[in-house]
Structures are given as structure tokens and as C-alpha cells.
Amino acid sequence: MNAAGRLLLIEDTPSLQMVYEAVLGAAGHKVRTEGDARGGLGAFRSEPPSAVLLDLMLPDRDGLDLMAEMLGERPEVPVIVITANGSINKAVAAMRAGAHDFLVKPFDEARLLNAVENALAHAVPGAPPNAPATGQGQSGPLGAFIGSSEPMRAVYAKIRSVARSMATVFITGESGTGKELCAEAVHDVSNRATGPFVPLNCGAIPSELLESEVFGHLRGSFTGAIADKQGAAAAADGGTLFLDEVCEMDLNLQTKLLRFLQTSTIQPVGATRARKVNVRIVCATNRDPLEAVRSGRFREDLYYRLHVVPIHLPPLRDRGEDVIDIAQHVLARYAREEGREFRALSEEVKARFRHHPWPGNVRQMLNVLRNVVVLNDGAIVTAAMLPPDLRPDLPVPAAAAAPAASLPLDELMGRPLAEVERRVIEATLALQGGSVPRAARVLDVSPSTLYRKIDAWARKG
């Protein structure tokens, strides 16, 4: 447990005051209690607390206004807001306004103590809030991001503003825009930077195995469980758990994830007892999460628990000169890796890159430049080196509209499914003159799906 702290509790219900004081006092914390906003603000100023527990429904003032005034005077003090079950939207608004965490009534003793311990662990008296990591400016790129366009500067600012909070970050954006880079940047500028960053792609794991991947399992808990397995939530203890493609999660597991968020406890498959972990959640999706809620694929209560601080990553086509900055950086890296002499893009190539729609976003650009570097040599990338879909001067192959049915069925029978998939995709690409977008239309998949697979095959050799 963290060291005891000096807490300010602002709660107008006497019975709840007594319960919270008893739980916190038994844990070694010193608690000063006030029943209204006026008394709470006075106590905040006269006896500066290590952390504040603030009920948002006060008799003399709106809790959000009170929190804003307190954070305006001492922004380094973590504030835990308390709200009724029917007012979770107000708690989300408080998190977006700077609250450290929120509790939804009714909550148990473990959840209260966990929230307080987390807040005290992140309280740094006198430290400026959301201070950037060493060597980083207040508006420049974070982590592995490249580019300084206006949309990306807004992303960097939001990452810095949420860094010291425990608020759950929900990243949205088209496939290939860098959602995992964004999650890593949130982790790297937070107080959890020295802890683990554990990514988990919910869409890449079969639903029957996902619970084990998230929460772990004990040996013998199901067929094939030949040893104990630590889940991603336990591996991320003290750090950040990144749930990518979270809208693909099975509904039954969504229920268990919600309980995990509410209690900060995990129970591996086959275990009889739960254990506490200290994990910050960052999640991402390339879907519209509200549409997933409306269609019944995603729980509404989980959506509101996760969608606290939204960060939307702009598509590459909306990032202006970032397109050229990224391309130049990636070109230099690939040239080093492949032993080539490439140093720059020709002006014609730059113009084509600026006006290309990039349906696969940055991932598509990486694939294009890898293709150029591997198949060509020279100091300057010219238009003639680009793949067909970036060269409008080339005619569309006659077979562009033909399906990828030229593979004899007999050649596919008896082969592993992964090999069949690869051969069909490669045959379709050949029929489409190497154009990933056209091949994607024939196969009825997203271009970004093909770019991911092609990149994975290239890494495996």
C-alpha cells in the first residue's frame, strides 16, 4: 500500500461521510470532511490536501464548478469525483475537465481504497501538471509520431493534458493512422512510463481464447491449459494495458472487462480468488463505437466507462505536409536497412504523395516505400519507381475486374488455411497489377487489411 495521505472528503450525506471516513481511517489516511462546496473550498485552501474526494451533487454548488476552481488554484492535486449510477455522463465530463478518477455509487471498500492509493501515487506536490518528458516541447511530436500539422498538434496537446490522469483514453481513427503509437505516447509521458506497456489486439485473438489472454488461466482450467498463464492485465500491473480493436471483443468478456474496470481486480480462468492490479486502460478502434453500441455489439455501460478521454487520429490525407515528412523519414530508414542510396523524393513524387487519398494511411505509405526501396536503386525516388496505384499514367490491367479464381482448386486442397489465404491474395494482387486498393475491392476487404498481411509476410520473409 502507498503511504497514508491527507484527504479532503466533500460529501453532503452524513451516513456516507461516516462510512468513507471509517474505511479511509482504517487504512491509515487522515480525513477532513466537509458537507458542502463552501466548506470544502475553505478546507482546500486552509489545509491543502494530498487528494480530494468530491461528490458532484452538492447542496450549494455544482461539483464540476467547484472542481474547476480547485484545480485552477492547485492543478497538481488529484481529484476523485463521486457520482450516482444515473449520472455517469457527469463523471465522464469531470474526467475530461481534469479529474484523476471517478467512483460510481454504490462502490465497495476495495474500489475506494484503490482509487485513493492510485491518486496518492500520482500526487507530486509542487510539480506542474502534465509536464512533458525530458527533451520534449509543449507542442512538438511525441514518441514515434512524425509531423507537426495542426490536427496532429491538437493530438499531442490532448495526450499531454491527459498524461498524469488515470482517465481511460479511447483512441479512434482509420486503420493505419497510428493508434498504437498514440497509446504508447500516452504511456511514455505519464507517471507510469517506467512500468510495462502491454498491447493486446482483441480482433486478432479467437473469442474463446480472449478471456485467457486478458485475465490469464490456471493449469488444467480447460483443455489445452498445460501450464499457468499470466494474462495481459496482470502483465500490465503498474503500467498501461492497451486494448486494440476493443469493439471486436465478445459480449460476455465485455461484462468481465467492466467488472475489472470497476473493481481493479482480475480472476484468471480456473482461479477461485481474485487479485488486485494497478492498471491504466487505453483502448482503440477503427469502428464508430457509438454505432457498435446502437447495433448491440458493444455494451453501452462499458462504452461510457471507456470513452472518457477520446482522441481521434486524423487520416493521412488530412495531415498536409506531414505526408512528406513521414515519407522522407521512412525512406531514410528503409534505405539504411536495405543498403540502398536513396536520399530524397522527386518533386513529382512529392506532388503525388500530397494528392493521393491514402486509404491505408501511414501503413500504406510504409508498404509503398518498402516496395520502392527493395525493387529499385538510386539517390532520388522517381515517379517511375512507384507502384501502379500511384502511377495514373499506367493503364489499368485488362484483368482488373476479374476475380482471383485462376488458382486451380486442386492446388489449394489439403493446404493450411493461412497458406490458402496468402496464395489467393497474391493471385488477386497479380491480376490487379499489384494495386492493393483494387485487390481489396475484389476480395471485399479493407485495403488496410491487405497492407497488414503483406507487411507481416515481408517481416517473416
Residue 103 half-sphere exposure, CB side, CA atoms within 13 Å? 26
**Number of helices followed by number of strands (H, E) in the chain:** 19, 14
Distance CA 385, CA 377 (A): 9
Say what the pLDDT of residue 138 is. 54
pLDDT per position as a tens digit, 259-283: 888 888 888 888 888 888 888 999 9
pLDDT at 42: 93
Average pLDDT, the chain: 83
- For 6-122, CATH gives 3.40.50.2300
CATH 1.10.8.60 in the chain, residue ranges: 315-394
CATH topology of domain 315-394: Helicase, Ruva Protein; domain 3 (1.10.8)
Pair 6, 35: CB distance under 8 Å: no
Q: What is the pLDDT of residue 197?
A: 95
Lowest-confidence segment of 216-220, 234-238, 445-449 by average pLDDT? 445-449
User: Is the predicted pLDDT of residue 217 greater than 90, yes or no?
Assistant: no
Residue that is written with C-alpha cell 489449394 in the block? 412
152-314 has which CATH code?
A: 3.40.50.300
What pLDDT is recorded for position 129?
39
pLDDT digits 0-9 by tens, 25-69: 988 899 999 999 999 999 999 998 999 999 988 999 988 899 988
**pLDDT tens for each residue of 146-192:** 998 999 998 998 888 787 777 889 999 998 899 999 999 999 988 88
Strand locations in 13-76, DSSP E? Answer: 30-34, 51-55
Of residues 176 and 92, more confidence is placed in 176
Query: Residue type at 233?
Result: A
Angle between helices 417-431 and 436-443 in degrees, nearest 10: 120
378: left (phi over 0), alpha (psi -120 to 50) or beta: left
Rg (CA), the chain: 26
What is 341-379 written as a DSSP string? ---EE-HHHHHHHHH---TTHHHHHHHHHHHHHHH--SS
CATH 3.40.50.2300 domain locations along the chain: 6-122
Q: What is the DSSP letter of 279?
A: -
